[in-house]
Amino acid sequence: MNRTDRLYALVEELRAVSPRPRSARWLAERFEVSTRTMERDIGALQQSGVPIWAEPGRTGGYCLDKARTLPPVNLTPGEAVAMAVALHRMKATPFRSTASSALRKLVAAMQPGDAETARRLAGSIHLLDSSATVPAGTPRAVADAAATGRVLRINYTDRGGSVSEREVEPMGYVVKDGDWYLVAWCRLRNALRVFRTDRITSAFATNEVPEPRPLTSEDLAIPYGTVRPLDLG
């Protein structure tokens, strides 16, 4: 563990047990460093404004004022949208309102630029039910397609078992009954196509970032179900 990660973990350890103290020796053993190194780390945190103070006595140690600190939220836009998809699955449970509240708090705690990027990414995901999950076998390049905006080179197996290689420009996703579909402009067919992600056997993200092709309501005129965008609140 490097020093930056250790300082972050140290604050989280003290926050978790607050207002109880932790001795420098206990913390040193916890993070596998010397007591002197731990005392220097705590001094550095104090100088940076983290509200840590020392409790004297045999059972004393270092305490953190929990009320004056908030855990940092350093989620990427993609991570925030992943959280939104996971929390969306709670809408059919008694935790519906608390899941919505948790998502609003998450977005509010993000950096403004990251939150706006997350909202744009969420707008490319469209849900038809509340039980959808990304198939475990979906290639990472496909899962990241809307976020990166890069042209994908894919191998796709259609319903009849025919395999084709295509270059596609990702436009968004549609989710229904546990299946995820990549909506993309197919250069082979020179038209918009929908690819079921579990039929994409391989995917490679090229360096090309084409001009965005926004999805219209006509593109999403699916004859069954009601299409609605994923909402970040």
152 near 186, Cβ under 8 Å? Answer: no
pLDDT value for 1: 73
Pair (14, 122) in one structural domain: no
Query: Which residue shows structure tokens 């998450």?
Result: 106
Pair (62, 11) in one structural domain: yes
HEC letters along 160-229: CCCEEEEEEEEEEEEEECCEEEEEEEECCCCEEEEEEHHHEEEEEECCCCCCCCCCCCCCCCCCCCCCEE
152 near 145, Cβ under 8 Å? Answer: yes
204 near 165, Cβ under 8 Å? Answer: no
Pair (43, 9) in one structural domain: yes
pLDDT value for 54: 86
pLDDT value for 130: 44
CATH number at 46 reads 1.10.10.10
Per-residue pLDDT, averaged over 53-62, amounts to 82
pLDDT value for 93: 52
Tokens of 195: 């690819």
Pair (9, 58) in one structural domain: yes
Question: For residues 40 and 224, which has the higher predicted lDDT (pLDDT)?
Answer: 40
Pair (104, 58) in one structural domain: no
Per-residue pLDDT, averaged over 101-112, amounts to 74
Domain containing residue 157: 77-229
Q: What is the pTM of this model?
A: 0.49
Nearest CA-CA partner of 212 in 171, 152, 151: 171
Residues comprising the chain, all counted: 233
pLDDT value for 132: 43
pLDDT tens for 58-86 read: 778 998 876 665 555 567 888 888 888 88
State how beta strands 152-157 and 61-64 pair.
unpaired
Pair (10, 84) in one structural domain: no
Domain end (from 45, 68, 91): 68
Pair (107, 211) in one structural domain: yes
Mean pLDDT rounded to a whole number for the chain: 80
Q: What's the gap between Cα 134 and its chain centre?
A: 13
Q: Specify the number of domains making up the chain.
A: 2
H-run or E-run covering 166: strand 163-176
For the chain, what percent of residues have pLDDT higher than 90?
A: 27
How sure is the predictor about 126, in pLDDT bands with cuts at 50, 70 and 90? confident
pLDDT tens for 137-156 read: 567 778 777 777 889 999 99
For the chain, what percent of residues have pLDDT higher than 70?
A: 80
Q: Tell whether the model's pLDDT for residue 95 goes beyond 90.
A: no
Gyration radius (Cα) of the chain, Å = 24
Pair (111, 164) in one structural domain: yes
Pair (98, 192) in one structural domain: yes
118 near 232, Cβ under 8 Å? Answer: yes
Pair (37, 111) in one structural domain: no
Instruction: Specify the amino acid at residue 121.
Output: L
pLDDT tens for 179-199 read: 778 899 999 999 999 999 889
Pair (51, 83) in one structural domain: no
Cβ within 8 Å of residue 134, ≥6 positions away: 85, 143, 180, 197
Pair (55, 88) in one structural domain: no
